[in-house]
Structure formats: structure tokens, C-alpha cells
Amino acid sequence: MLQSLTEMLIALPAIMIALVFHEYAHGKVADLLGDTTPYYQGRLTLNPLPHIDWLGFIMLFVFHFGWAKPVQVNPYNFKNISIKKGMMLVSLAGPGMNILLAFIGLLAYKYLAPLQNLEWAAMTISLIQPLIYINLILAAFNLIPLPPLDGSKILAGLLPDTGAQYIYSLEQYGPLILLLLIVSGMAGKIFMPLANLLYSLLTMIVF
């Protein structure tokens, strides 16, 4: 248990960066599309406090599964874009930001790895490594096409209106289905192959 807690504390900076940048990206894209809701709710900031859901934060330490406070978006404020396409872009921004952070982490690792015999470089690498895999896991998990995850709205934006309506109709059942997937361990079997694929693709690009 102590080892697990120690690992959590080491990974905490990476977890906070991943969650905060994920939510900030949602809010920023919504703002760029014309919705000022995230701005007026104080979510266009990299300060972690407005993004923390304290229950989700506690659950992170107790069950190693948590969440941040979702960014509220009013798609009726979008300008020059349909609601469906706008929500797809807003939803894509979160996982996209996590993939970008993992990419930056891999770049940093590439140039620090030859210096890892130096103490400062080794310490930096120990912080970069969780930054890479936590961002990829968060991106892959959120790409599951099930409400309320980002993947559902991304998929809805790609489907014809009839298909999108079917995805939206799952919103009342989505959280329960998602909980069952997590408890049963099936969620990991769905998103971990995607996380590994993303890691392989980014590694090919960087190295």
C-alpha cells in the first residue's frame, strides 16, 4: 500500500497536468467557437483549483480512478458551425491535448535519456515517464464512444444525424454502462490497446 501511495504521489504532478490541460482545452475550443460559458465560469485557466472535482480527486487516491470537473458548454452559442460539429471539436480537444502532452514528453525523454546518469536528468525523466503514459491513458479512455466520454460526441459528429441521435439517446444509460465496464475490468481491455497504439505511433514519430 505504501509503495502504491508513493507511486501515486510521484505521478500526481503528471495527473494534475493531464486533467487540467484536458479540461482547459475543452473550454478554450468552446470559447474559440463563440461560447463564453467556460470563460465566465473561470475555466479558461491552468490553475488546477477551478478544474478539481474533490470527490474525483479523493477517489483517485482511494481507488486509483478519478475525474476532474467537466467543463460546461452551451453549444447554442457556437457561431458559424453546427452544434454537432462544434461539440465534436470541443470533445476532440481534450484527448487531443493529452496526446500532444505525451508527444512533448516523448521529445523531452529523447533528449534527456543520454544524460540520465546525471542526477537532475534522472529525476526529470522519472517525472516525464508518468506524464507520457498518464496522458495516453486519459486520451484513450476518453475516446471510448460512450456517453459521457468525449468519444461519444466525436463519433456523433462523424455520423449522419440519425446515427448521432442514437448516440445521444444513450446518455441516460451511459454512466451506468461505463461504471459496469470499469468495475468489471472491461474498460481497460477497450482503451489500453488504443493507448498502446498511440504510444507506438508517437514513438515512431519521435524516434
Cα distances (Å, whole numbers) of residue 131 to 18, 39, 68, 78, 205: 7, 27, 17, 33, 18
- Which of 7, 23, 119, 171 does the annotation list as catalytic? 23
Q: How far apart are CA 20 and CA 144, in angstroms?
A: 20
Q: Is there a catalytic annotation at residue 23?
A: yes
How far is residue 16's CA from residue 27's CA, in Å, rounded to a whole number?
17
**Cis status, amide bond into 148, omega within 30 of 0:** yes
C-alpha span between 64 and 78 (Å, rounded): 36
Residue with cell 479540461: 23
What separation in angstroms does the CA of 57 have from each of 19, 186, 201?
Answer: 11, 23, 30
Active centre residues (catalytic): 23
